Structure 1
Amino acid sequence: MSDSTQATNRVLLWTVNRSLSTVFTKCLSFVDGIQIINEPFNIANCCGPERLRDDGSKMQAIFDAMLAKASTMSSNGYDVSLSSYDWVKKMLEADYPGKQIVFCKDFAFALRERYSLIPEGYHHTFLIRDPRKMYSSAKKLCAKLLQDDSVQYHELPPYLNPPKHAFGELYELYQYVQSHELEKVPIIIDADDLQRHPGSILSQYCEAVGIPYSDDLLEWEAGAGVVDTWQLADILEQANKLEEGGFYDTAFSSTHFFPPSDPPTRDEIDDDLLPVIDKAMVFYDSMYAGRIKP
């Protein structure tokens, strides 16, 4: 590790999908001297040379068609063919001249338990969201991506629904980080807390990981222009612009953190999600108890 790498403050935010992580990342994009890296392990997991596949399924065919369509569009992102797991680790550990902070947001499940590939020199932090909200939102997005409102959650391919349904992988990484002393007391923030008390949660988070905070971070301009400053794969930027994409649209159109909605009741949740949510709540409750409090 070079001297300049050691001098750079590096922060990883590990999370689950549909957790408000993109709007949180957009918010931090306006910190002076910060380099944002967006979901590099997720791209390795679903689109890179070591990607997972579900060949022969209708969902894989639809996903491949969407990616092929996206690949014809222009982008400022890096070539997805580069995204091996080893390449991602090296990219995260690389020097970023002129940047005092490197902030990366990614999904724990995308690491596929390859803990030896966790980059050196990072603070490890975690963002959680009530599983009742998270899985309901994830299924809704997957139905849009796959153009199939009848999709069942257990039918989703492994890059959309990993073996431990994302929350299990997040909890196991959280335990690994502690047990291997990568972070003695990992910072945890809850999405509802962030929405309800953004100033308190964001200021505490920034202080804990060494990111300069000001109340100016609580409001920002609508639009996706800030993405031009991010390090992200071309396919991710392109796919979001498709009609069947749009998974970042709410975050990009945001100007501040909105108050949280109430979680759906069990009667309002699709039956196929209930067993998944019940398992995830055990992990969520355990991490929730150790979260930053408003």
Structure 2
Amino acid sequence: MPPPIPILLLKTKSTPEDGYADFFSARGYTPTFVPVLEHRVHEPNLGKVRALLAARAFTDVTRNIPIRGSERRKFGGLIFTSQRAVEAFAGMLEAEEGKGEDEEISIPLYTVGPATARSLGALSTNYLPQTSIHGAETGNGENLAYYILDHYNAVYPDIFTRPPILFLVGEQRRDIIPKLLMESEETPPEKRIVVEEMVVYETGVKEGFESVFGEVVSSVGTGDGDGEAGKEKKKPIWVVVFSPTGCEAMLRVLGLGPFTATASSERDVFVATIGPTTRDHLRQHFGFEPHVCAAKPSPEGVGAAIEEFMAQRG
């Protein structure tokens, strides 16, 4: 049996289980997690969300429950496309538990993938039992936007009473969902939906990531002193990138893209991206073409792209 291929996953390992660890361990890879992102909640904006909750601004307009206080805008739905946004919102709800909220939120929650949907499911069970979760199988922002156009228009068919949707985001995000819902020529005016974005978390490169990543790259798959170290050093490495954040440090360590002059390893290193956002960032900012881009942002999607590439390479 051939030795396992190292695969470096530039993310924090999920607990208690991680789908990427399970998937790749079962398919002849040795997964290693290297956290690259550091997330900080945006307290001022979470305070605004808290005020909206207190003003019943998330009440389903079809229930005709009046808004109180100074807030005059209702939202008929919430959009989440990252687990970090769910975590920030859930942390706020947890802090508010038992403080006298007297109106249940009963609006649809939209999400882009199964992982975020699972996080929303736990949130819904604990805090928002009247909400419903939609879009888990859409897979990307574009598909989710089209799904929302159909579903939300069915919930609120009257353009004159259709409330806006609140999109809880990080400061780094694509604008494809707001554009398709509000501005796209493909979207008939009578189906357009107003989207208000609110940043609830900020993301930066984790302190010390570059040095930690460099140490991991130098150490993985280099043998265990049994005489096979020379062969192991030539074993290829796969690096899976989940976000534009940290891409420059990653390329610098690997000696790829604009940093090829610094390359010191003789082993093959291949880069896979979780989706088109990170792929396009590498192209546009560093002139680097990743070896594969997953068609779906999932362990199966990444695995299929890697296996196809390796099969073609022979």
**Greater radius of gyration (CA):** 2
TM over 0.5: no
> Structure 1 or 2: larger strand share?
2
